[in-house]
Structure 1
Amino acid sequence: MARPTSREAQFSSTLPASVRGVDRRSLLRGAIGAGALFGGAALLGACGSDTEPSASGGASAAAGPVKFGMNEAKGSGPAYERLAAMAAAYATKAGVEVTQNAVDHNTFQESINTYLQGTPDDVFTWFAGYRMAQFAENQLISDISDVWPIDGLSDAFKKSATAPDGKQYFVPVSYYPWAVFHRKSVFEKNGWTQPTTLDELNALMKDMQGKKITPFAFAAKDAWAPMGTFDILNMRLNGYDFHMELCQGKQKWDSAEVKNVFSTWATLLPYHQENSLGRTWQEAATSMANEECGMYLLGTFVVDGVPPEAQDDLDFFTFPTLDAAIGNDALDAPIDGFCVSAASDNQDAGKAFIKWLGSAEAADAGNNAASAPFIAANAGASTAKYGELQKKSAEVVQNAKSIAQFLDRDTNADLANTVITASLQEFIKNPSDIDGITASIQQQAASILG
């Protein structure tokens, strides 16, 4: 993508709160429903899917054949299974062909700008946040305001789909928190408890090392993965507002506050798996599942990298407090969903498909076909396949005071993909050059953001 124009340079300061971070109380009220939280066997009240399409957000008279770009490779696991099943269910329901273009996650994400400016599929998987709004600003995705409201999606989710021009460009399907995952049986066997402070975390990590267990699984071959560690350390040390202002170019990457984040990270790196630059997140998840590592900071999608027999043994905790004045009630909780490509010549069919993808019926089709469910954004979706992990994930998001999307979703795409990813990998290789790394990021951020 070309360097931002002057209009784009001002873009970060104009983003509404709904794009910068979704209000967690209204989001969870819409997704879960009053009084339904963890009071029974199901997290949400299940809703049948026998309604007519027009009542449930399903296919309309404009339904037609569509091409569906999926950010999961065929056979890659539950995430692919869910997307493929949703596409197949719509094809059957609407009586149309849905051509699936399944691409591995990293390739899809790293090539998205070229993809959207070439000959993209009609509908494609994407995320809420700055990058969705940036694509709207650059007219790479279509205004889909006419598909809203979508039954079962709350106003908070609609806000997450809204760009600064007040129009909707995105349909949410699921969300998940980032947290520290571990196997319950390993903690129980070793008498470990979930830490809530830095002192407790340090004691736990040292005990793990003493028992020949690497405290943290870690992967950096997936260039985006280390962003989760930066996000959480920045929010724990400097607070949510500072983190979002940094993403928007209102704070400096070479400031004392950001340098402190990297300094703190440097003290934690010896407790992480070595050679992370050659390891995928799935391989790191397997290391935790195999009890080679004690913990893993990742999103709830970690279950996709854990063998089915170990999934029920997973538990998690939010990253501990590092500054008592700031606490630990901020987290990343990205929202996933879909957009319609502006370059598509099949706009009506794309809109019919994307509206159905936001329905409870679509969420149920995906979860019923997958070995692990996602946490559905639609309040009417069945929770029959939810385990304790999914229920706890929703509870953690509800109790969070502040919610970020993720670093590569909360800031400019060029800055995230061409500067920050490389800089974080450079830091992992050479954690002593904090001054040089932060100065380089700031110089390029100033050029990109203005």
Structure 2
Amino acid sequence: MSRPRTQAEYLARLVPPSVAGLNRRSLLAGAAGTGALLGTGLLAGCGGSDADSGADAKTVSVGSNQSDPKPKDVVAKVMDGFKTSSGITANVNTVDHNTFQENINNYLQGKPDDVFSWFAGYRMRFFASKGLAGDVSDVWGKLSGYSDAFKKASTGDDGKQYFVPASYYPWAVFYRKSVWQQRGYQVPTTLDQLNTLGAQMKKDGLVPIAFADKDGWPAMGTFDILNLRINGYQFHVDLMAGKEAWTSDKVKKVFDTWAGLLPIHQPDSLGRTWQEAAQSLQQKKSGMYLLGLFVGQQFNADEQDDLDFFTFPEIDPAIGAKALDAPIDGYMMARKPKSEAAAKKLLEYLGSKDAANITVKNDPSTLVANTGADTGGYTALQKKAAELVGSATEIAQFLDRDTRPDFASTVIIPALQQFIKNPKDISGLLTSIENQKKSIFTE
């Protein structure tokens, strides 16, 4: 499933006309689970049977958004490891990543799986505060190998833990070393140098920056890094929390800067998936790509050593270039799992170094959260990525994880797509975002 290209199409798909009159609070708290609210293609939890609800349950259901081939295979291997260690079978219900995110409210209020994949940050806390996730503080009492930062990222507003981290990945600008060596390109450290490099790549017949936003979320990474570089981490966090105005000169400067960079971005991005953009980098048709470490999924095993990255360059010397997006992926438990004991056993395993070791062995496109894991098998790229995150002064979770889910999906995604299509009416666009923000954050 791909996201629609225009704001009107996006809203039509997300909220069908039959329920368009409902406000966002009603949409979240209403009779979700009946199949009416979010149209077709709804998530459907596998669930365990009532007979499995005891401590001796032999099955546990897992809702997974890891639908791409490589991460899906890694999840399967981890679940096999759980069965070997516990004797409990984890039945995985895999759903397309975008479908999973768009329908998560309905899913959690219906009959969700016992355990489901999700993200750290505001989005985790949001569902925990709505009573749509189970308390896993006792699981955390059995975990080891996590820094205080990871525990904080797993903690709800009430001080309890609702999330078990599994992996994380930094966003950076990726490139192929062989292409750069052949052309004599140098890593840019300022915005001017980036623009100059982009102009040279155009002359050399390359697309300077691969770009895709058919799925709606990739452009959020571009907004995030520009906002972090121009206005700093705290402003970014406050803007995501609804505490700053989108009509401010600070936000306008982000979009003005972005508009100036669009000419060196791959055109027609609203009709392209991130995988297709990554393939243009893999095929040496593009010179750079701002994306998460998972870009490596689109490269063959013998090409991994040719992939490298640099952090997005500095824009304001007073702010520097040390902040970055490094989202944390992991798992949560349903508020009323069919098999709570089995669900918690699974979460304890998913947070273990044994599970992390399986991931390290099978996936070169991510970093594991458990510091007790054997990372000797990391590729050079993974080691560099871990060092980048370790040297960051501030780490954001990514736009749609650092703000309200309804604001990200119904306002920001279509707004960014509209900007990409027509970057000339920035003031009008920001006024629209601000007006919708006020409505959403006061509900």
Q: TM-score, normalised by structure 2?
A: 0.86
1:4 and 1:153 map into 2 onto residues whose CA distance is: 35
The CA RMSD measured in Å over matched residues stands at 1.7
1:169 and 1:418 map into 2 onto residues whose CA distance is: 25
The structure-2 alpha-carbon separation of the partners of 1:372 and 1:290, relative to structure 1 and needing over 3 Å to count, comes to same
Task: Report deviation, 1:167.
Answer: 0.2
Q: Which sections of structure 1, spanning at least 5 residues, go unmatched? A: 9-59
C-alpha contact 2:71 2:363 (8 A) present in aligned 1? no
Amino acid aligned to 2:124: M
1:348 to 337, 341, 344: 341
1:220 and 1:137 map into 2 onto residues whose CA distance is: 31
2:169 to 173, 176, 181: 176
The structure-2 alpha-carbon separation of the partners of 1:387 and 1:207, relative to structure 1 and needing over 3 Å to count, comes to same
User: Which residue pairs with 2:353 in the alignment?
Assistant: 360
C-alpha contact 1:140 1:342 (8 A) present in aligned 2? yes
Task: Report deviation, 1:366.
Answer: 2.9
1:101-140 equivalences under 5 Å are 101-140=93-132
C-alpha contact 2:173 2:290 (8 A) present in aligned 1? yes
Task: Report deviation, 1:61.
Answer: 6.5
The reply on whether 1:296 has 2:289 as its aligned counterpart is yes
The reply on whether 1:438 has 2:437 as its aligned counterpart is no
Higher relative contact order (CA 8 A, sep 6+): 1
Task: Report deviation, 1:146.
Answer: 0.8
Which whole-Å deviations, capped at 9, do the CAs of 1:361-407 have from their partners, x for residues lacking one? 01112333x25353111111112321111111111111111110000
1:66 to 43, 60, 76: 60
The reply on whether 1:268 has 2:261 as its aligned counterpart is yes
C-alpha contact 1:63 1:353 (8 A) present in aligned 2? no
User: Which residue pairs with 1:34 in the alignment?
Assistant: none
1:148 and 1:183 map into 2 onto residues whose CA distance is: 40
Give aligned-pair identity as a percent: 54
User: Which residue pairs with 1:279 in the alignment?
Assistant: 272
1:241-256 equivalences under 5 Å are 241-256=234-249
The structure-2 alpha-carbon separation of the partners of 1:358 and 1:2, relative to structure 1 and needing over 3 Å to count, comes to farther
Q: How many residues align?
A: 394
1:136 and 1:417 map into 2 onto residues whose CA distance is: 19
1:182-261 equivalences under 5 Å are 182-261=175-254
Stretch moving more, 430-439 or 164-173: 430-439
Amino acid aligned to 1:144: V
Q: Which sections of structure 2, spanning at least 5 residues, go unmatched? A: 1-21, 30-53
Partner SS state of residue 173, structure 2:
strand
Partner SS state of residue 312, structure 1:
helix
Q: TM-score, normalised by structure 1?
A: 0.85
Task: Report deviation, 1:4.
Answer: 4.8
1:333 and 1:154 map into 2 onto residues whose CA distance is: 15
User: Which residue pairs with 2:314 in the alignment?
Assistant: 321
Partner SS state of residue 236, structure 1:
helix
2:388 and 2:114 map into 1 onto residues whose CA distance is: 35
Amino acid aligned to 2:421: K
Task: Report deviation, 1:205.
Answer: 0.5
Which whole-Å deviations, capped at 9, do the CAs of 1:232-275 have from their partners, x for residues lacking one? 00111111111101001110111111111111111111111111
Task: Report deviation, 1:299.
Answer: 0.6
The reply on whether 1:3 has 2:15 as its aligned counterpart is no
1:373 and 1:410 map into 2 onto residues whose CA distance is: 23
Stretch moving more, 77-86 or 391-400: 77-86
1:428 to 420, 424, 436: 420
Task: Report deviation, 1:67.
Answer: 0.6
Amino acid aligned to 2:312: F
Which whole-Å deviations, capped at 9, do the CAs of 1:150-188 have from their partners, x for residues lacking one? 021222211111011000000001111100000011111
1:346-425 equivalences under 5 Å are 346-368=339-361, 370-372=362-364, 374-425=366-417
Partner SS state of residue 151, structure 1:
coil
C-alpha contact 1:4 1:449 (8 A) present in aligned 2? no
